[in-house]
Structure 1
Amino acid sequence: MEALPARARVYVAGVAVAGLLCLLPAVPLSPLPVRAAPAADVSWRAVASLAVLYACCERLARSRQLGAPHSGGTFHPVLLAAAFLLPPSAAALVALPGALLAPVEQRPFLARRVGRAGQLTLAVWAASRAHRAAGGGEAVAAGDVPAALGAAGAAVLVFCLVLTLLDRGIVVLVGGLPLRSGSRTAWRTTRQRTRRTAWWRLFLRSLAPVTVHGLAGLMMALLWRSPHGPVAALLVLPPMYVSWWAFAQYHRERAAHQATIRALVQAVDIKDGYTRGHSERVGQASTMIARELGMDDERTEVLRFAGILHDVGKLGVPTRLLTKDGPLTPEERRVIELHPEYGHEMVRGISFLGEARAAVLHHHERLDGSGYPYGLAGGQIPESARVVAVADAFDAMTSNRSYSRARPVPVALDELQRCAGGHFDPRMVEALVRAIGRTGWHPAVTAEDARRPVGPPAPPVAEPAADSPGARR
């Protein structure tokens, strides 16, 4: 992002000005009313100590060795401790040096620093106001832990809410959520992105880690006010950094997993242009089925991987067979039916995939035993494979292929229900029907986004579609 749109620059400037107004009451000789935070009541030694401590923590948190890519490196315990210890304007001042001096990796550097400084000062100021309104100042001073916990909880909620809303604002203005769209496809994609990144989802996602940081900040504040003093408060930080490092390692590993899967899927998409986006859509449908069946988040993620990677074995199939117009010969069909085994060989050594590997191998098995590669039947077929089989058939029927035109979603669901019990697990089919009936089918990558050959789509051919939805999957 080399330059910000004009409206985004105005937004960043507005946030910065609002943050500056929050700081002014703490400054001596300020022209603003100082009833909320008189300068005489501010412990400037505490402000300076916490500001330096936060700047050092921010620098360390953004280092290559410790920085967590999921959070931008922001380390909140010191900021929240300031909100619990200081008047609102003074607490907001603690965030300013660290936010302005922390390294920035992307352009525009100045706008990013100013915007981050404005966001943090507003969030800390609001958190301190909420903490004081809930009686937290007196509770911390008296060492009343139960009362301090309640006030700290209110402050954490406000802090997280303000940060989420301000982050959401800049994403809307910079991240391509236009007021108008030039086409229905662009508008649909925009609406889908908006749904996936709704502010309240971001708020809930960030609430847990910020709550942990809030507890650490409260411990710092209580120790700071205790007879042991500020030095004892520093003892809270090393354990937090250890957990921060472990969390960063987890996210690095997760990012590596995603990169591995993305590389494999891109290779399949390049080889078979007709099915570009098919893998992502099957992963999305598999996720819908898993959630409808009440599976936990970890297993749902594995099934998403299974859906995304189910066709990776097509890398071993000649391209002329994948894109052939017209029926396949028996020999050609036998070659294509080897792709589950090719795929399983490719992913067999990737340990983090878990049961997704079984889905890659068995997603073309049928409940009646007429599938391939091994002719498994009923309960012999792994559950993950039964999920992906339904998701794969659904997307095959609702997408344009080289040998068939897309069917409407209701028609595809009716066909799945007709084949349930013979080809597909009825539980999986009904789960998909319920999920789509409740939320609709809004694929992240639509058929319109895929690359297609020039010219009209090929007419339907005499494949056994009625008995085998999306027969050449």
Structure 2
Amino acid sequence: MRELPVAARVYIGCAALVAALCAAPTVRLGAAAPWTDALALGVLHGLCERIRRCPLTQGPVRHAAGPDAPPGTFPQGWATPVVLAGTFLLPAPLAVLVAVPGALLAPAARPWPAARRLWHTAELALAAWAAAQVFRAVGPAAPAAAPFPELLPPALAAAAAFCGVLTVLGGGVLALAERHPLRTAWRGPAARLPVTHLVHGLTGLMMAVLWHSVYGPPAALLVLLPVHLSCWAFAQYQRERAAHQATVRALVQAVDIKDRYTRGHSERVGRASVLIARELGMAEDRLEVLRFAGILHDVGKLGVPTRVLRKEGPLTPEERRIIELHPEYGHEIVRGIGFLGEARAAILHHHERVDGSGYPYGLMGHQIPECARMVAVADAFDAMTSTRSYRRARPVPVAVAELRRCAGTQFDPRMVRALAAALDKHGWRPEQVTAGEERAADPAPAGSGGVPPVRAHRSGADHGAAR
């Protein structure tokens, strides 16, 4: 197990010390302080955290400060509104104490579980203290007697302070403990947390208003029921999505093992397909399916004999016909996977050409499904810009020029223009390389004259534009 860096230990220790100092004034509050409310909310917070860990309600949402977690996040469940309700109902030192029980009971990932638990307690306590201070500073002098609309602005400001503290502290611990680059350590929480804590802030405010209403604390507990149901539904969605991704990963790994020359190609085609779709303004709910289409476009290679895929010399006409069956093989493999939707059509038709000379069915123009036309362009682009065992990668401008040359015959011109525009905006920085790069220094096969041999057809990665 790797050691927690010294800088991270100091950072966590300092956060814990400051949190303790924030809670220290509770010793001077005396008997007149709302100790009963603080105790009830603290117990409720711990109880919510225990229920969140129940197998029936738990989802695959990563915990704060975990190795892959968004930095600074508190578990996205129904415990957070309880903490925020405490910041609206209690003085800041007591609000700090409300945050402690649930934080201590939260699961702690490895490595460094003790340090993670201490860190989570400290960051949540500091966020609660900051939120309570902001609420008192900008809110009415007597919150319990104020009408609900008057409490909204200070509650939103308090939720923003809560979110801001978690973001700042979480980015720091990721930079020091997990060695995240400083330029990206704060990017994740800054994008993810605001909307979540805005909703949690409103829920916490409703709890606080009902807590002091004629109906009392039991009515406040009812607010948590719809929150819990929505969190449970989201957890189920996350579980299902994780299962979908695991299915896709398993199929891709099987293809990569069988055809080592195009390892990593599928993932890059998925990313390039999404670039095209976003440029064309495709709805977000279709992007994930399109990414799956790009990733699985060559899954049919599982049905092609390995000796044909890995053959070094020219293919015979019979072997070429076998290779050209891989889109149909792929469609049969994924036919029963319902969540793929229109991705199945892209897998079947990604080798069709707009002039009708493609395969397997010789479709023309708009007879070819839109997603298949996107994947065809993405596939050819990555084939040209990736190093293979028989040639070096082409520069991106050269590959784009070749795609434009073949637009209207092999590729849909609209898709080519979209990819070119997306590359101008975002560039192309593939994070993975093909296994063939390890053999890039090998000379081209004898008699090839430097021209890519027929392996291009075998892999399904190199289209006419890449030949």
What TM-score comes out, normalization by structure 2 length? 0.89
Instruction: Provide the aligned C-alpha RMSD in A.
Output: 2.3
List per-residue Cα deviations over 1:102-160 (Å, max 9, x = no partner).
Answer: 3435342211110110111111112222222221664x412422221222211222222
How much does 1:177 deviate?
3.0
How much does 1:169 deviate?
2.4
How much does 1:218 deviate?
1.0
Contact 1:325 1:402 in 2 (8 A): no
User: Which residue of 1 is the match for residue 54 of structure 2?
Assistant: 63
Q: Does 1:425 align with 2:416?
A: no
Q: Does 1:160 align with 2:159?
A: no
Percent identity reads 59
Change (3 A) 1:401 1:136: farther
User: Which residue of 2 is the match for residue 31 of structure 1?
Assistant: none
Q: Does 1:98 align with 2:102?
A: yes
User: Which residue of 2 is the match for residue 151 of structure 1?
Assistant: 154
List per-residue Cα deviations over 1:336-395 (Å, max 9, x = no partner).
Answer: 111111111111111111111111111111111111111111010001101111111100
Query: What is the identity, as a one-letter code, of the residue corresponding to 2:251?
Result: L
User: Which residue of 1 is the match for residue 451 of structure 2?
Assistant: 461
Match of 2:175 among 172, 175, 190: 172
Contact 1:164 1:199 in 2 (8 A): yes
Give the Cα separation in 1 of the matches to 2:134 and 2:423.
42
Match of 1:437 among 414, 424, 446: 424
User: Which residue of 1 is the match for residue 388 of structure 2?
Assistant: 401
Query: What is the identity, as a one-letter code, of the residue corresponding to 2:108?
Result: V
Query: What is the identity, as a one-letter code, of the residue corresponding to 1:207?
Result: P
Give the Cα separation in 1 of the matches to 2:218 and 2:154.
24
Query: What is the identity, as a one-letter code, of the residue corresponding to 2:465?
Result: P
Give the Cα separation in 2 of the matches to 1:27 and 1:295.
58
Q: Which shows bigger deviation, 296-305 or 19-28?
A: 19-28
Q: Does 1:208 align with 2:195?
A: yes
How much does 1:458 deviate?
4.3
How much does 1:453 deviate?
4.8
User: Which residue of 1 is the match for residue 130 of structure 2?
Assistant: 126
What TM-score comes out, normalization by structure 1 length? 0.87
Change (3 A) 1:23 1:429: same
Give the Cα separation in 1 of the matches to 2:131 and 2:430.
39
How much does 1:276 deviate?
1.1
Alignment of 1:382-393 (within 5 A): 382-393=369-380
Alignment of 1:320-399 (within 5 A): 320-399=307-386
Change (3 A) 1:148 1:458: farther
**Corresponding pairs, count:** 443
How much does 1:46 deviate?
1.0
How much does 1:281 deviate?
0.6
SS at match of 1:421: coil
Contact 1:143 1:222 in 2 (8 A): no
Give the Cα separation in 1 of the matches to 2:90 and 2:103.
18
How much does 1:204 deviate?
2.8
SS at match of 1:402: coil
User: Which residue of 2 is the match for residue 77 of structure 1?
Assistant: 81
How much does 1:50 deviate?
0.5
User: Which residue of 1 is the match for residue 14 of structure 2?
Assistant: 14
User: Which residue of 1 is the match for residue 252 of structure 2?
Assistant: 265
Query: What is the identity, as a one-letter code, of the residue corresponding to 1:147?
Result: E
Unaligned runs of 5+ in 2: 64-74, 445-449, 457-461
Contact 2:92 2:133 in 1 (8 A): yes
Query: What is the identity, as a one-letter code, of the residue corresponding to 1:470?
Result: A
Give the Cα separation in 2 of the matches to 1:457 and 1:231.
74
Q: Which shows bigger deviation, 344-353 or 223-232?
A: 223-232
Change (3 A) 1:244 1:100: same
Contact 2:258 2:302 in 1 (8 A): yes
Query: What is the identity, as a one-letter code, of the residue corresponding to 1:167?
Result: G
Give the Cα separation in 1 of the matches to 2:282 and 2:140.
40
Contact 1:327 1:461 in 2 (8 A): no
Query: What is the identity, as a one-letter code, of the residue corresponding to 2:34?
Result: S
How much does 1:451 deviate?
6.3
Change (3 A) 1:114 1:327: same
User: Which residue of 2 is the match for residue 247 of structure 1?
Assistant: 234
Match of 2:139 among 121, 132, 135: 135
Contact 1:15 1:119 in 2 (8 A): yes
Give the Cα separation in 2 of the matches to 1:435 and 1:299.
18
Give the Cα separation in 1 of the matches to 2:5 and 2:309.
44
